[in-house]
Amino acid sequence: MTTFTRMHVRRATAVSFAFAMVSLAGCYKALDVSKIACDVSDKGSCPDGYQCSAGHCIQATTAPDTSSAEASPPSPLDTSSADSPPVIPLDAAVADTAMGPSIDAGSVEAAAVDLGAPQGIDSAADSPQSPPLDSGSNDLPATGAIDASDVAATESGKAGIDAGTDAPPHLIKEFYKLKMSTEPYGIAAGPDGNLWFVENGYGQIVRLTPAGVFTAFLIPTANSGPTEIAAGPDGNLWFTEYYANQIGCITPAGAITEFTIRTPSTSPNGITVGPDGNLWFTEYAANQIGRITPAGIISEFKIPTADTQPSKIVQGPDGNLWFGESNETNIGRITTAGVITEFAVPRVSNGLTIGPDGNIWYTTISANMIGRMTLTGSNTDFSLPASHSGPYNIVTGPDGNLWFTEKLWFGSYDVSKDLAKIGRMTVAGDVTEFPLPSPGVALEDIVVGPDGNLWFTETNNQNIGRINP
């Protein structure tokens, strides 16, 4: 593990390439190439047949230069192994041009699926029980709407634990899904006023209305492993496909387009929108930060320190992107031009957000701490009350506090008795924890919903939860 005296700064090398334009049913409509921002030093920042001039793509007057080794495409990914997920093959015969047609699921129409009434979990001993769970087929479910009447919810009016003040009751409501092993991971507020989350186990993107109506959309690539999702600047949702090495885009109507990352086996993880109108994502296995334009053009920037396993990435108040390193004790910063700076912190970081005070707040699940780092690299640590809380993802709430999920992964605890919690921390470091009604829950992501509540995913029991701040 590398030790930093202060920080390392280096201009990262960008590797860019373009994808073919998709049909009107895809994630974006007819493309006005002249509006694509570009970098004159990055030959791949414009589609094939165009060149960068004064910061924008224009029609090339000469044939594009394909002599650079950096611009030549690699060999197709090796999918011969039984463990390798299917990916879109690269066209090795073309240099720095379209990578073949994107996958478009826009023509797939959703069909209604009646999943029956799932069994709700209620902490009250005398609560009525719904009919038993029908696990149904192990096959992938058809894309379709799940009516609100098919969703059971429970509520838990739990007062805060270790509040230090008289905290008002915060109502927790859980929405239960029928299918097992869907593994909901990342969740985001969509531009349509709904919540959108990924199902890592089933390879689906799901839309959830604040009223509790689910609609699921199957990702075209099988076993893609969707991990994180974010609202894009184009009115669509963008997500990472950890196993398929792709970035996906879904319209609010459910049309899905996928884009293959040029570097093989990168394991794309976190994703966010940048101040430049592009999407930025982390490449967990490739030790890179990626950028994809709404037109599907991808650039990659190498992190100076080796094997950092970058995780979450967020847009900072300073016009830069900030990312966590889950295998190194650094917080990274990347400018929209690709300049990477790493700041040494006392421990690795898992979740990451910009706090209401404009600082970087991050979680360390193994140390049971939440850290605060200023934009200049000064660090402060805050411990949590329970030794096994396992803080994971974190977000700034509408109330001006930090809200985080607790994964119950570390320390000594009884999975049958201990309750997972949603935590709240003030900028002064005061902590309040709100327990869920069910024990042994592994919480994952958390986001502020369009309704002003906090919404979170429960990975191991396939639930979506909501708590009012």
| CATH for 451 | 2.130.10.10
The pLDDT of residue 15 is: 37
Question: Cα(363)–Cα(326) distance, rounded to whole angstroms?
Answer: 10
| 324, 334 contact by CB (below 8 A) | no
Q: How many domains are there within the chain?
A: 1
Q: What is the phi-psi region of residue 225: left when phi exceeds 0, alpha when psi lies from -120 to 50, beta otherwise?
A: left
The separation between CA 405 and the C-alpha centre of its own chain, rounded to angstroms, equals: 15
DSSP 360-421: EEEEETTTTEEEEE-TTS-EEEEE-SSTT--EEEEEE-TTSSEEEEE---SSS--TTTPEEE
Structure tokens at 170: 């915060």
Across 39-50, b (16+ Cβ under 10 Å) vs e yields: beebbbbbbbeb
Q: Which domain covers residue 390, as residue numbers?
A: 145-467
Question: Cα(137)–Cα(126) distance, rounded to whole angstroms?
Answer: 32
Residue with tokens 């073309």: 94
Residue 448 covered by a domain: yes
Question: pLDDT tens, position by position, for the chain (469 residues)?
Answer: 333 323 333 333 343 333 333 333 467 543 444 445 566 666 655 655 667 776 666 666 544 333 333 333 333 333 333 333 333 222 222 223 233 333 333 333 333 233 322 322 222 222 222 222 222 222 233 333 333 333 333 333 333 333 333 334 578 988 876 567 789 999 999 999 999 999 999 999 999 999 889 999 999 999 999 999 999 999 999 999 999 999 999 999 999 999 999 999 999 999 999 999 999 999 999 999 999 999 999 999 999 999 999 999 999 999 999 999 999 999 999 999 999 999 999 999 999 999 999 999 999 988 889 999 999 999 999 998 877 788 999 999 999 999 999 876 545 556 556 678 999 999 999 999 999 887 778 899 999 999 999 999 998 888 999 999 9
Residue 72 covered by a domain: no
| Residue 245 DSSP code | T
| 51, 60 contact by CB (below 8 A) | yes
Residue 124 covered by a domain: no
| 262, 90 contact by CB (below 8 A) | yes
Question: Cα(208)–Cα(148) distance, rounded to whole angstroms?
Answer: 10
Q: What is the largest CA-CA distance in the chain?
A: 77
Residue 429 covered by a domain: yes
The pLDDT of residue 351 is: 95
Question: Cα(109)–Cα(71) distance, rounded to whole angstroms?
Answer: 38
Residue type, 225: G
Residue 248 covered by a domain: yes
Q: Is 114 exposed, middle or buried (0-12, 13-18, 19+ CB in 10 A)?
A: exposed
Residue 125 covered by a domain: no
| 422, 454 contact by CB (below 8 A) | yes
User: Helix, strand or coil for residue 174?
Assistant: strand
Residue type, 288: Q
Measure the CA dihedral 176/258/73/283, to 10°: -30
Residue 28 covered by a domain: no
